[in-house]
Structure 1
Amino acid sequence: MKYEYAAAPLDAVSAERLATQGLDLALVDTSDSEALATWLQAENRGFHGARLPQSKLEVQLPHIAHRRTTGVWDPDSADAASPVATVSTWVMDLTVPGERSIPAWAVTAVSVSPTHRRRGIGRALLEAELRTAASLNVPVAVLTVTEATIYGRYGFGPSVMSADWTIDTTRARWIGPEASGTLSFVEPETMLSDGYDLVQRVRLQSPGQVKFTGILWERLLGVNGDPESTKSLRVVRYDDDEGELQGFAAYRVVEIGEDFTSHRLDLAYLVSATDEAYAGLWHFLLEIDLVSTISAPLRTIDEPLLWQLSDQRAVRRTGVREHLWTRILDVPVALTARRYSAPGIFVLDVSDDLGFADGLFLLTVVADGSASVELLTGEAPDDAAAIALTVDDLGALYLGGVSPITLVRAGRVTELRPGSAASLEASFRSPVTPWLSIWF
């Protein structure tokens, strides 16, 4: 289904709310490079970034022109041409359990100028985007965040965790399987096509991954217009015995202090389609000469690597945090899009302060893992598990990475019938730990 998100009308509710403060909610004409550059400078300032030089603007502008680009302007500001708040959205596919995808409203670049804080501008922007997504029948919204305390109030729940891994290679001896494929250094540009095809093939293996392209892809390979970034990046590919690409790793090596025998390897990206490619790439990285430490940010919290090393204490997992937040807008569409690990009948009493997902739903999962959902108007079946939860907690459970038993113990989910959380756990859990390997 094609979504005409860029040209969708402005949300009248938020526009009127902001107008009472003398503020203008408007879409940026992304074909107007000057207007889009002004918006981009304001968005970058909102995240404390330096003013973007023309060279970087020229790289970024074509890649974001397809997005729905919204801002809030203050006509009384000394710089009335620059927005005092920004948000950018588009539709991309989100992987859900069962190696399936669902369209998701991707939200990014949410910023409000410090000069205009505490005036409800951020709320107006986010609620406008959610209403717009719902009007276009996009069933879920997703975002990655710099601040974790903001988005629960809008119905987003943390659904994918990540961790930053640090490995002391002087202690970590490889005890995993030996890979039989071939490793080769390649120039980053050579991976733009083949590497992209691999990433898209692999993304269905992990709930939480998204289908991304453009600058989100090119920056992983250091080919996004930053010469220094490109110059220092090394890319090694893994081909199987048939000569087919099955994985690659992109990394930089940084000297630590004055001792040339001690370097840190910063892993920018590692993707593998097979367990053998995963083992082959990690084995290679761990045994690079003159490297004493590997820094691997934004990895899954459940890496097989931990069990392929002689000393697990050589690994430190820091920065464990929620990475992807998911907001359910259409409960029946969202819940029927994914597959489940066990059959069951469930009554979900969902509360949503914004009204998109509010209701009493009957979820029926059959033996093949498929499901049907309907509004429950009568009595709940006698054999149904039943829970009450908020839409943000439903978002947290959606990809199968959070246990409903944990949420019951935390007092966030209420069992309406004893044992319901355990039944829900058996059905909702994902056999693959959810993971998102990028920021957006």
Structure 2
Amino acid sequence: MSDYQIRLLEESETRAAHTVFLGSMHNAPASDESWELGSRGYPTQRCFGAFRAGRIVGSAQSFPSTMAVPGGAVLPLAAVSRVGVRADHTRRGVLTELMRAQLRQIRELGEPLASLHASESVIYGRFGYGVACRGRTVEVEASRGRPVPPLPGVGEVRILDTEELATELPRIYERIGLHRPGMMSRPRGWWLMQLERRLALKERIIAIVHSGPDGDDGYALYETTMVDAAPDRQDRRIDVFDMHGVSLGVVLGLWRFLLGADLVRSVRAWLRPLDEPVELILPNRGDCRTANLEDETWLRLVDVPTALAARTYGVAEPVVLEVHDRFLPENSGRYRVGKDGVERTDAPADLELPVDALAMLFLGDLPASQLAATGKLVPHEPAALERADRLFSTARSPHSGTFF
């Protein structure tokens, strides 16, 4: 690494860094129009580049956000993306040094959490990231003459005009709020990159909005895809890529509307929460299948004591966790975790784990007993596993629902 330099990018270097990132994903450079909108989401002061002989060969960027943790607290979050190294410079420690510089900056900025979506699951564990949320891709056969029964509650669904999407959807998302562990805020730059850029490129995107007694309280954003139904005809599939509501009832109301659409063979929704029971609203549960179960959010506890102290815990006697963090050694140590709070301690450890396994436990996605059974956590006091399961459990499975 002695002939590489890791530093923050100048404004004039950000597009070249983005091209390096796209190339690492085997994609072509962004068009002028796509770059004009997509470049606004990542502040230059958070964009790192790796340079060799004056040429950019690696990139790691982030933007500021917030994330809800169990109990309802919302913590500052670094949303990490555009991470990549040119294929002719990999396996030389470039990514490691990019991650090291970025994590140091995130900690200095006072953001106790960082998250990302991993292109390959083998990459980020060594930097302290662990899978904290998972999602399932659900495909449901449309009603085909068997309408979904009415659901409890009062509400109606309308389709937005295309010109309303850029103003109405951010407003509704803000109103819905971060009510589930793992949900994150969406700054203006996110909407520019993920929605307005696509609208400017004339992509066909459709949005429906659910309204209840108190106003707009949920939405679904989707595309339609032609699928072969028979040699002599085609049907459409609705592909949902963004759906949120203030309650489960609202989300299921959106599902019911989509499943009743004419000329639609199926509805496919990407990375839905694990506890979203679409099957229960169908006349035939067999019309719903899980097409895929995937990692959704990779989480990094950048400031372990701050993150642990921010969430709430179940009713159980405390456990002492011994945490190891190679990249940020100031996080390493023992923490007594209980329903009354968190504190550093010199007491003997009940459970020992690396910081990436702590991320898997933190939002409530996996219990400590499962992590121990797979070797990701070492129990020094076996009875502590049951206590940790109760302490870290959550009423709802964690889910972000925001891709970046």
Shift of 1:275: 3.6
How do 1:288-307 residues align onto structure 2 when only pairs under 5 Å count?
A: 288-307=261-280
- Tell me, in whole angstroms, the C-alpha distance in 2 between the residues paired with 1:342 and 1:153: 32
1:413 maps to which residue? Answer: 377
1:44 maps to which residue? Answer: 22
2:157 maps to which residue? Answer: 183
Shift of 1:220: 5.0
How do 1:210-359 residues align onto structure 2 when only pairs under 5 Å count?
A: 210-218=184-192, 221=195, 224-229=198-203, 232-242=204-214, 244-257=215-228, 262-354=235-327, 355-359=329-333
Which amino acid letter does the alignment assign opposite residue 252 of structure 1? E
Conserved? CA contact 1:188–1:222, under 8 Å? no
Conserved? CA contact 2:176–2:218, under 8 Å? no
Label 1:431 to 1:259 Cα distance change in 2 as closer, same or farther (>3 A).
farther
2:358 maps to which residue? Answer: 394
Conserved? CA contact 1:208–1:434, under 8 Å? yes
- Tell me, in whole angstroms, the C-alpha distance in 1 between the residues paired with 2:39 and 2:271: 26
- Tell me, in whole angstroms, the C-alpha distance in 2 between the residues paired with 1:93 and 1:411: 31
1:135 maps to which residue? Answer: 108
Conserved? CA contact 1:348–1:361, under 8 Å? yes
Corresponding residue to 2:140 among 160, 167, 170: 167
Label 1:170 to 1:260 Cα distance change in 2 as closer, same or farther (>3 A).
farther
Conserved? CA contact 1:188–1:223, under 8 Å? no
Shift of 1:219: 5.2
1:150 maps to which residue? Answer: 123
Conserved? CA contact 2:134–2:293, under 8 Å? yes
TM-score normalised by structure 2 residue count:
0.92
Shift of 1:289: 1.0
Q: Does structure 1 residue 195 correspond to structure 2 residue 166?
A: no
* Greater displacement, 289-298 / 310-319: 310-319
CA RMSD of aligned residues (A): 2.2
Label 1:176 to 1:320 Cα distance change in 2 as closer, same or farther (>3 A).
farther
Corresponding residue to 1:70 among 48, 53, 56: 48
Q: Deviations over 1:11-66 (max 9, x none)?
A: xxxxxxx3x1x222221123x4xx32222222222211112221112112233245
Q: Deviations over 1:200-237 (max 9, x none)?
A: 343421111111223432455455454331xx222221
Conserved? CA contact 2:322–2:333, under 8 Å? yes
- Tell me, in whole angstroms, the C-alpha distance in 1 between the residues paired with 2:96 and 2:187: 29
**Length, aligned pairs only:** 400
- Tell me, in whole angstroms, the C-alpha distance in 2 between the residues paired with 1:237 and 1:421: 43
1:98 maps to which residue? Answer: 71
Which amino acid letter does the alignment assign opposite residue 336 of structure 1? A
Shift of 1:400: 0.8
Which amino acid letter does the alignment assign opposite residue 28 of structure 1? L
Conserved? CA contact 1:188–1:221, under 8 Å? no
Report SS of the residue matched to 2:318. Answer: strand
Conserved? CA contact 1:261–1:290, under 8 Å? no
Q: Specify every segment of 5 or more residues in structure 2 that has no aligned partner in the other structure, as ranges.
A: none
* Greater displacement, 147-156 / 348-357: 348-357
Percent of pairs with identical residues: 24
Conserved? CA contact 1:67–1:90, under 8 Å? no
Corresponding residue to 2:392 among 411, 428, 432: 428
Which amino acid letter does the alignment assign opposite residue 201 of structure 2? P
- Tell me, in whole angstroms, the C-alpha distance in 2 between the residues paired with 1:26 and 1:360: 33
Q: Deviations over 1:66-89 (max 9, x none)?
A: 5511111221xxxx54x1100102
Label 1:197 to 1:403 Cα distance change in 2 as closer, same or farther (>3 A).
same
Label 1:181 to 1:289 Cα distance change in 2 as closer, same or farther (>3 A).
same
- Tell me, in whole angstroms, the C-alpha distance in 1 between the residues paired with 2:29 and 2:302: 36
* Greater displacement, 162-171 / 280-289: 162-171
- Tell me, in whole angstroms, the C-alpha distance in 1 between the residues paired with 2:147 and 2:193: 32
1:111 maps to which residue? Answer: 84
- Tell me, in whole angstroms, the C-alpha distance in 1 between the residues paired with 2:155 and 2:387: 43
2:34 maps to which residue? Answer: 56
Report SS of the residue matched to 2:350. Answer: strand
- Tell me, in whole angstroms, the C-alpha distance in 2 between the residues paired with 1:225 and 1:275: 29
Label 1:135 to 1:251 Cα distance change in 2 as closer, same or farther (>3 A).
closer
- Tell me, in whole angstroms, the C-alpha distance in 2 between the residues paired with 1:176 and 1:220: 33
Q: Deviations over 1:136-178 (max 9, x none)?
A: 3332222111110111111111110011111112577524615
Report SS of the residue matched to 1:344. Answer: coil
- Tell me, in whole angstroms, the C-alpha distance in 1 between the residues paired with 2:159 and 2:213: 17
Which amino acid letter does the alignment assign opposite residue 127 of structure 1? R
Q: Does structure 1 residue 364 correspond to structure 2 residue 328?
A: no
Q: Deviations over 1:347-374 (max 9, x none)?
A: 11112223142111112323xxxx2x22
1:87 maps to which residue? Answer: 60
- Tell me, in whole angstroms, the C-alpha distance in 2 between the residues paired with 1:48 and 1:234: 29
Report SS of the residue matched to 2:283. Answer: coil
1:15 maps to which residue? Answer: none
Which amino acid letter does the alignment assign opposite residue 68 of structure 2? T
